[in-house]
Amino acid sequence: MIQKIKNHKTLKKNINFLTKIEREKHHPLLHHIHKKLGISRKTIFYIKEYGPRSHVADVIIKESIFILILTSFLSAFGGIALENMKDIFIAILPFVILYPALNNMVGSYGSVISSKFGTMLLEGKIKSSWWKNAELRKLFSQIMIIAVVTGSIGAAASLILAGFSDYVVTSKIAIKIFGIVLLDVIILVGILFALSIFAGEHYFKKQEDPNNFLIPITTSVGDLGNGLILAFLIALLF
């Protein structure tokens, strides 16, 4: 029950009540505490989620477990594609060296693209014709340039490191590896952008915060796509 915040005791009672409010539901108590005491909404949300009467571990586990299992499931599928051609994959030493770095890169691009697009949606910068949005086009150009440059750096580093072992690096192998890595990152950045835009607009229209959904979706699709595209290109070129 809401009580007027007269003193420390009533504040404590109200805060205890606050932790019982379901996270999706708005309650006038939240606004009341914010207005009366000047406590920011973010602090109130944090106390509601992780306050003295809440079970912190329960809240975190309930909110995270489904999405973590889903993202792991999708990542594992990317691995299945590579497991099917394991012998070829592990024979190409530069790819073994580069694989964790490529996975990281793709996951990071997914996070960056989806968090920035989610913020643009929340700030009202994205109208119906998103393809005309200058900021979005700039973000796309930036991510694409970074992906190509860092992909090239990664490919070059993996070839150099592989050269220190018994693996013989020829110009033909180097060209194939550069080609596969660049194709992989270019295709994936395109897919992640498309996914962020369509999924982001979908959740935004449903009045959900796109950031809650886009980041796990794009990072796991990135992992899945990375495994599938690499498996396909390696099978094609090697």
Partner 1 sequence: MNIFDKNFKEIFSTQLVSIIGGLIAGTLLAIYTDKIFIIPGMLILIPGMLEMRNSIDGSFASRLSAGLFLHVISPKHTKTKIIRGNLFAALFLGMVVSLFLGLIAYVFNYLILNVSTPEIILIPIIAGLIANLIELPLTLSATLFLFNRGHDPNNIMGPFITSTGDIISIISLLIALVII
Shortest distance (Å) from residue 124 CB to partner 1: 20
Report in angstroms how near the CB of residue 19 gets to partner 1 at its nearest: 12
Decide whether 129 or 207 has the Cβ nearer to partner 1: 129
Q: What is the token pair recorded at 170? A: 């020829």
Residue with Cβ nearer partner 1 (126 or 219): 219
The sign of the dihedral angle between the CA atoms of 125, 129, 133, 136 is positive
Closest to partner 1 by CB, 108 vs 183, is 108
Q: Minimum CB separation from partner 1 for residue 200, in Å?
A: 19
Helix or strand run (H / E) with residue 116: helix 93-122
Q: What's the rounded Cα separation, in Å, for the pair 46 and 201?
A: 27
Interface residues toward partner 1, by CB under 8 A: 40, 42-43, 46-47, 50, 52, 55-57, 60-61, 64-65, 68-69, 71-73, 75-76, 78-80, 82-84, 86, 89-90, 93, 96-105, 107-108, 111-112, 134, 137-138, 141-143, 145-146, 149-150, 153-154, 157-158, 161-162, 165, 216, 219-220, 223, 226-227
Least separation in angstroms between residue 220's CB and partner 1 is 7
Q: CA angle, corner 74, sides to 191 and 84, nearest 5?
A: 100
State the nearest-atom distance from the C-beta of 225 to partner 1, in Å: 11
Burial of 99 from C-beta contacts in 10 A (0-12 / 13-18 / 19+): middle
Q: What is the DSSP letter of 131?
A: G
d(CA 86, CA 217): 26
